[in-house]
Structure 1
Amino acid sequence: MATGTPSQALLCFRLRDFWNTAACLLLWCVSTLGAADVVAQGPSIPQAQIVLFTPSDVQPPPRAGYLDRLNQFGLYAEQFFHDGLTDWGYSPARKEIFHRGDDGNLSVIHVKGDLPAAGGAYKKQWISRQVHDKLKRDHGIKIAGNLYWIFVYVGDPPVRHDSYRGSGNSKDGGWAVLNYTNLPGKISPRSQMVTPLNDKLTLKGCIHEFGHGLGLPHIGPKVELGKGNTLMGPVNRIYRFHKMPDRTKAYLSEASAAILSAHPVFTGDPTARNKLPTTSFRQVTADYDRKSHAIIVRGKLEIDFPVHRVVVIDDRDDKIGGYWVKGFVAQVDSQSRFSLSIPNPGRKGQLKILAVYKNGAFTGNGTKRGIDSATLVPYRF
């Protein structure tokens, strides 16, 4: 092989080869970084954040006190949802749904309002919007898709914030606004939900509103189960007023568990949470079986996404009130058909039928989310 000084043509060739290689390398880097950026900006597992809110003229209670109390609330809620899901045969991937600090404790953010408590400025549910704005501006917290459990402190008892509200779904996240009651005592994660202390602290009401933030509708108890009231059922005093059994107990209903078991905050899988599947219920029948004294509901789904369960709410005309509707759950077979039995129905009412999808979507018509999207089937027997 000849050796010596390279020719000018050979030098030009090697230079072109260098720049071609460099260009390819640059293109690979850009595409790789772009892909990483897409992954970084993709759907994330929703986080639940606890917030203490005080009006501008109200000093919060001692920090150590409210941190301890709200940690008790959060741990109780996590245990309650986990137990409720597992009791109905689900295996939630995530139990710890609330945001933790570096010390391992649940984190609580204090947000101070712009207006005083005097004059009733904070008796309306728009507290949630102001909290969201301040969390974004002052703490750099992303709001969309996450959950916010907002405790409002306006002073020690008997002063209280009476407007309890909650709203949300598996795509957008959610919020709940309720009262922070500053009383001594400790909530045990294993205690019944309706102990004297828990009742004073409105523990069930607080978790009930957080349930709305997760997308749950009102679903009342089936007293024949011996489990007491449902989380999404009536308030404790109304349940007691009607002399219902097991008045210290509260449980997660089968229908609520079916809805939550697909929520990305519990599955840890947010990849398709933004999709609202096409949903159409076909060939739905609701026939009264005199022998079993039950409504037999059958139907077929037209869908474009894997379905998890079908939920049917029996909204009978003779119910005590809106918190007493009963929920039923059906699985869907390989031909997208379902059937279930509703025992001891009323003589007249309507069924509200919805699908729960594996991405957490809960819809009855494929155009909206939640109970208001239900397909309605009136009945009269």
Structure 2
Amino acid sequence: MIRAKSIWAAWMCWVGLLSAAIGASQGDDVAGSAMLRDAMKHISAYHVGQPKSDKVLRVVYFTPGDRDPLADHAGRLDRILDDVAGFYREGFKRFGQDTGGLPLERKDGKLVIHQVKGKLPASSYTYESGSITKAEVRAALKGIVDMDREHVLILYALCHQESDGRYVFNSPYYGDGASSNSSGLCHAADCELLDPRLLGETEKQMVYTEHYYPRVEQTIGKFNGWYIGGIAHELGHGLGLPHDNGSKEERGFGSSLMGGGNLHYRGELWGDRAPAFLSRATALQLASHPLMTRSDKGRDTEAHGYFEKLEFSGNAGELHIKGKTAGAVPAYGAIAYIWPMSAKTDHRAVTCPVVLEEGGFEMDIAGLRPDSYWLKLNSLHVNGAVSNEYFVLKVDKSNQINLAEMNGEWLVDRADLAIHRQDPRAREFVSDEVISAAPTAESAGKLRVLRGLLDPAVPADLSSAKEDHAWLSDAAWTKAEVGWGMPTRNAFWSDGRFRMGTFLTLKQKPYEKGLYAHAPSHYGFAVDQKWKTFTATVGLRDGAQAVGSAVFVVRGDGKELYRSELLRAGENADVSVDVSGVKNLELLTEGGNGNTSNAWSIWVDPKVTR
């Protein structure tokens, strides 16, 4: 164990080093400061005259049923959270913005810590137990902490020391701020050696095991950098911040906190050459967060943001984006995030943040190498809400970018969102003129599907059809039942609450014709002995989880004519069945082995021919 005298010496060393490091190691960001200044004009104008919010970050300390809180947990947590709040405050100061940092719940000058005793022993909790502990915290603090309307940090006393001196962590450790402006939650681990006073301890070593690392040997100072940095990083997620490795212009400043900076927190104190910093994109988004503006105006208002205009241009490895935002709540900024599809995560996403001018923006992203990337565009709203759209960005070997596909996908996204929100302009977005001008055949096909949702055609009568083929998804049915949702033609079912994508896709290929058929499902058609062959492709629509599976069955006049193998996510099969002489054709799906969870079964291109 570390003696009190050495703790005091480390603390004094830390204070001195930190005083010298603030504002010096990374330096002021002139361009970032100008950007934040412009952003604050928009944000301040929206919140002017509002009373100061009393909302604060609530801190919960979770102890398993068979253990007590770790040593000096109250004092250490006070120092830890004060240090993290200070890190955010210093990050904004580097951009010329004086803020109070993250507001902490305090009473008589001390951090308020809400204690919760778990119902289970420590051995029953793991990294995967976040949903269990969240439910226990919700029940224990009902009427005290509102998990649905506040921002909450849960720290866990799920660390113990083995006989060999090794520390073992079994704690949930992640953040979730999906509704970032109204609520957010993050989980993090506590340890008796976790204390910002020990960030400068570069001599003494420790060994530990946790979810990601079977065995780590490092100095106590570096451990504190990693784990207090982890709290700062996951808290960022709890506030709605995505992963963000910073812009190319910021590479000389160190490591972005929301990229890999959680492993470089206060690195200047323990010998790290690339200490963590708050990036421009992180600061731009966080500037409007209710905990930073201290205003509740629009806190629970849906922004309904979207890109009213969007145009991709460029080439030779350089992408130019021009756009205009709109929504129920004004937007003030936009951020582009780009990371390779080959990467396991988006931790290394390069960002390009801009402030809007009259709702519009332009940005240039240079130096793109031949590869396939994810491109996420976020619009930032003055109440702290964030809206986003995703695109597939491809750069070929000659450095040409798939501009037509990206521009076409935006036309589809715009129309899809308008239909989902019942925007009166939706029909304009799927007009004949828009479809004929669509830059790709795929985007034109998707727009036709969307128009069909707005203006569905009268189902065809298969017994009187004159053509040599007919799509069953456009035909009148005699029976239509699905296991979840409603029978749907040429699109994936959605009721507005559950949106898993509009289009019928298998292995990333979209289909204009098809039937939504979540198992168990049953479609019936009167074919009246008029047709010879039924064909289709079957499978689970893209996005289905591994637990999903289905079996597809074709029956004619009650007799089984075809039964597929059990198909799981990512698998499909081609069907061709002789239906000569059949009066009543039936298409059925069954859950694999009786399981219908996530059975996103679809029949695509279901067709009968003469």
Category of TM-score, reference length = shorter chain: 0.7 to 0.9
1:187 to 197, 207, 221: 197
- What is the match of residue 170 of structure 1? 180
Which runs of structure 2 are paired with 1:271-290 in the superposition (5 Å)?
271-288=297-314, 290=316
Give 1:172 deviation, angstroms.
Answer: 3.1
Query: Which sits farther off after the overlay, 157-166 or 49-58?
Result: 157-166
Give 1:288 deviation, angstroms.
Answer: 3.1
2:228 to 197, 203, 217: 203
Gap change, CA 1:303 and 1:90, over 3 Å in 2: farther
1:376 aligns with 2:382: no
- What is the match of residue 74 of structure 2? 67
Distance 1:341 1:115 in 2: 53
Gap change, CA 1:353 and 1:86, over 3 Å in 2: same
- What is the match of residue 123 of structure 2? 118
- What is the match of residue 323 of structure 1? 347
Gap change, CA 1:189 and 1:332, over 3 Å in 2: farther
- Aligned-residue CA RMSD (Å): 3.2
Higher strand share: 2
Unmatched runs of 5 consecutive residues or more in structure 1: 1-41, 240-244, 365-373
Whether the aligned pair in 2 keeps the contact of 1:301 and 1:337 (CA below 8 Å) is yes
Q: Which letter does structure 1 place at the counterpart of 2:230?
A: G
Whether the aligned pair in 2 keeps the contact of 1:276 and 1:361 (CA below 8 Å) is yes
2:360 to 328, 332, 337: 337
Give 1:349 deviation, angstroms.
Answer: 1.8
1:248-271 CA-partner distances (Å, limit 9, x unpaired) = 501112111111100000001112
- What is the match of residue 258 of structure 2? 232
Gap change, CA 1:72 and 1:131, over 3 Å in 2: same
TM-score, structure 2 normalization? 0.47
1:84 aligns with 2:91: yes
Distance 1:56 1:115 in 2: 5
Distance 1:55 1:162 in 2: 11
Whether the aligned pair in 2 keeps the contact of 1:165 and 1:176 (CA below 8 Å) is yes
Whether the aligned pair in 1 keeps the contact of 2:199 and 2:221 (CA below 8 Å) is no
Which runs of structure 2 are paired with 1:1-381 in the superposition (5 Å)?
44-62=53-71, 65-92=72-99, 94-102=100-108, 104-120=109-125, 123-126=128-131, 127-136=133-142, 140-157=144-161, 158-168=167-177, 169-183=179-193, 186-187=196-197, 196-201=219-224, 202-222=227-247, 225-234=251-260, 247-288=273-314, 290=316, 294-317=318-341, 321-334=345-358, 336-347=359-370, 348-364=372-388, 374-376=389-391, 378-380=393-395, 381=400
Q: Which letter does structure 2 place at the counterpart of 1:211?
A: G
How many residues are aligned here? 315
1:59-108 CA-partner distances (Å, limit 9, x unpaired) = 1124xx1112111111111111112223235454x425110012x12222
Unmatched runs of 5 consecutive residues or more in structure 2: 1-50, 162-166, 202-217, 266-270, 401-610
TM-score, structure 1 normalization? 0.73
Higher RCO by CA contacts (8 Å cutoff, separation 6 or greater): 1
Whether the aligned pair in 2 keeps the contact of 1:353 and 1:375 (CA below 8 Å) is yes
